């Protein structure tokens, strides 16, 4: 039975926007965090919030397939991937990120600037389809674009392979948020395929990170430049 009040599009819009804002805060916190395990847990919390946003949109729009996407997000990226990455950290014994290419204060400023760019871009996008749906406003789209841009910046700025994997996954979270909030998700078979692609990618990247650590005694990907002839 629907919960009283949640059938109001404005209330549901506010719920999804609030969740999206929390997701953005966690993304910026990842930029300022140098402890690898803390970054992993922030990513897990971000994925749990995205699962909650997908469930809220599914409830309002009676889109059953989004419930399945929310469950996959929760189980795979909210629980399974963080647990696997934490075990990898325990195995390789490297807990702290080395100095990034851009220091933390400047990185936070850049993240703020990228968020501003995302809001400018989102404001220029028209939403002709489902204009009253929760999450279809420019705020949620701006957060999705921000996750993408900040995730891409983290990939360029971080030197450890494992934190670059987290940046790639958080970038994909931005794509997920845009998909569920603007188009009510992709077809179910596509969503399942994407989630399993992500899971396989994490497994492969985890093996790659371990091999880098074994051969170079470091996860600093800048040292791979030694391989150039």
Domain enclosing residue 85, as ranges: 9-216
pLDDT at 189 over 90: no
Tokens of 19: 């969740």
**Interatomic CA distance for residues 115 and 183, integer angstroms:** 22
Counting the structural domains of the chain, the total is 1
Tokens of 111: 């993240």
Is 78 contained in some domain?
yes
Q: Model confidence over 92-142: pLDDT tens digits?
A: 776 666 667 788 889 999 999 999 999 888 887 755 444 444 445 567 888
What pLDDT shows up at residue 190? Answer: 53
Of the pLDDT bands very low, low, confident and very high (cuts 50, 70, 90), residue 228 is: low
Average pLDDT value for residue range 141-160: 87
Q: Which residue has the higher pLDDT, 85 or 116?
A: 116
What pLDDT shows up at residue 149? Answer: 93
Give the DSSP letter string of the chain.
Answer: -PPTTTTSHHHHHHHHHHHHHHHHHHHHHHHH--BHHHHHHHHHHHHHHHHHHHHHHHHHHT-HHHHHHHHHIIIIIIIIHHHHHHHHHHHHT--BPPPPSS-HHHHHHHHHHHHHHHHHHHHT----SSTTSTT-SHHHHHHHHHHHHHHHHHHHH--BHHHHHHHHHHHHHHHHHHHHHHSS-S-HHHHHHHHHHHHHHHHHHHHHHHHHHHHHSS-BGGGGGGG--
Nearest Cα to Cα of residue 54 among 82, 85, 23, 10:
23
Average pLDDT value for residue range 34-49: 90
What pLDDT shows up at residue 122? Answer: 84
Is 195 contained in some domain?
yes
pTM of the model: 0.77
Of the pLDDT bands very low, low, confident and very high (cuts 50, 70, 90), residue 1 is: very low
What pLDDT shows up at residue 16? Answer: 85
Is 97 contained in some domain?
yes
Report CA Rg, the chain: 18
Q: Model confidence over 9-35: pLDDT tens digits?
A: 577 778 888 999 999 999 999 998 878
Of the pLDDT bands very low, low, confident and very high (cuts 50, 70, 90), residue 210 is: low
pLDDT at 2 over 90: no
Which of the listed ranges 56-60, 79-83, 100-104 does the model predict with the highest average pLDDT?
Answer: 79-83
Q: 58 and 64 in contact (C-beta within 8 Å)?
A: yes
Is 2 contained in some domain?
no
What pLDDT shows up at residue 22? Answer: 94
Is 46 contained in some domain?
yes
Average pLDDT value for residue range 193-201: 60
Is 135 contained in some domain?
yes
Is 79 contained in some domain?
yes
């Amino acid at each position: 039975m629907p919960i009283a009040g949640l059938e109001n599009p404005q209330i549901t819009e506010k719920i999804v926007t609030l969740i999206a804002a929390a997701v953005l805060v966690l993304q910026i916190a990842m930029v300022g965090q140098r402890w690898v395990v803390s970054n992993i847990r922030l990513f897990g919390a971000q994925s749990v919030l995205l699962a909650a946003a997908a469930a809220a949109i599914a409830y309002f729009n009676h889109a059953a397939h989004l419930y399945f996407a929310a469950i996959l997000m929760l189980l795979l990226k909210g629980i399974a991937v963080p647990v696997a990455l934490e075990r990898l950290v325990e195995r390789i014994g490297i807990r702290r990120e080395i100095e990034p290419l851009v220091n933390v204060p400047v990185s936070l400023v850049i993240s703020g600037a990228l968020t501003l760019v995302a809001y400018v871009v989102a404001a220029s996008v028209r939403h002709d389809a489902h204009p009253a749906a929760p999450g279809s406003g420019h705020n949620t789209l701006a957060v999705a674009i921000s996750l993408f841009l900040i995730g891409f910046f983290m990939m360029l700025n971080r030197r450890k392979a494992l934190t670059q994997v987290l940046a790639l996954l958080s970038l994909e979270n931005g794509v997920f948020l845009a998909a569920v909030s603007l188009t009510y998700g992709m077809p179910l078979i596509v969503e399942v395929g994407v989630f399993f692609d992500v899971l396989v990618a994490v497994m492969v990247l985890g093996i790659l990170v371990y091999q880098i650590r074994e051969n170079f005694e470091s996860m600093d990907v800048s040292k791979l430049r030694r391989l150039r002839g």
